[in-house]
Amino acid sequence: MAELSTLARPYARAAFEYARQGGALEQWAGELATAAAVAADERMAAALDSPSLTSEQQAATLNEVCGDATSAQVKNFVSILADNKRIALLPEIRRQFELFKANLEKSVDVEVISAFDLSEAVTSRLAELLGRKLEREVKMSTSTDRDLLGGVLIRAGDTVIDGSVRGRLNKLAEAMNS
């Protein structure tokens, strides 16, 4: 995984800088998401990995499927990736692009998983507290997982806060087995 990240970083950085300078971060984010989703599709990935396709054919195939959902600049970016045999990196490039964008905007996507449905008041208070702690604007999504038994599991980038009963029971079991 680290190798994919290392290979994708210069492409993500170049796309991010190009989009930032052109004032098109949102546009590029959406279009990269589309191209990455298409490239990650099982059938498309198999077609793109075909040794019978040249890099030009790979780029043309992906760009044709994306159609009008991607601009000429993103289609050119896909062609550059294909020329360098890096088209499979599109999902990782998109992920890193989103991280660069979030760092610039001082925002973070936070996923909160709880054992029970959270009220709007609790959700907004949690977003406020996390925003102060992380010093970023928090974009929160919530979901429910009854298997947690109680408490919450919070994911913000690489940070995971496991305040669930299931997590605490797992830690207790590890301590008893050690």
Within this chain, do residues 72 and 111 fall inside the same structural domain, yes or no?
Answer: no
Instruction: Give the CATH number, domain containing residue 87.
Output: 1.10.520.20
Q: What confidence score (pLDDT) does residue 30 get?
A: 95
Residues 91 and 152 in one domain: no
Is residue 144 located within the same domain as residue 168?
yes
Assess whether 77 and 124 both reside in one domain. Answer: no
- 132 near 162, Cβ under 8 Å? no
Per-residue pLDDT of the chain (178 residues; tens, 9 = 90+): 458 889 999 999 999 999 999 999 999 999 999 999 999 999 998 888 888 889 999 999 999 999 999 999 999 999 999 999 999 999 999 999 998 998 888 888 889 999 889 899 999 998 898 888 888 888 889 999 888 888 888 888 778 888 888 888 888 888 889 7
User: Quick one: angle between helices 25-40 and 72-83, nearest 10?
Assistant: 50
Instruction: Copy the structure tokens of residue 156.
Output: 């913000």
Q: Which of 78, 102, 126 is the last residue of a domain?
A: 102
Same domain, 139 and 95: no
Range of the domain at 11: 2-102
Q: Are 46 and 125 within one domain?
A: no
> Could you tell me whether strands 152-156 and 107-114 are parallel, antiparallel, or unpaired per DSSP bridges?
antiparallel
Looking at the structure, tell me whether residues 10 and 98 fall in a common domain: yes
Both 87 and 160 in a single domain? no
Last residue of a domain, one of 71, 102, 133: 102
Number of H helices, E strands in the chain: 8, 4
Overall domain count for the chain: 2
Residue 168 and residue 89 in one domain = no
The DSSP bridge pattern shows strands 137-144 and 152-156 to be: unpaired
Per-residue model confidence (pLDDT) at position 2:
56
Give the closest residue to 70 by CA, choosing from 108, 27, 20, 133: 27
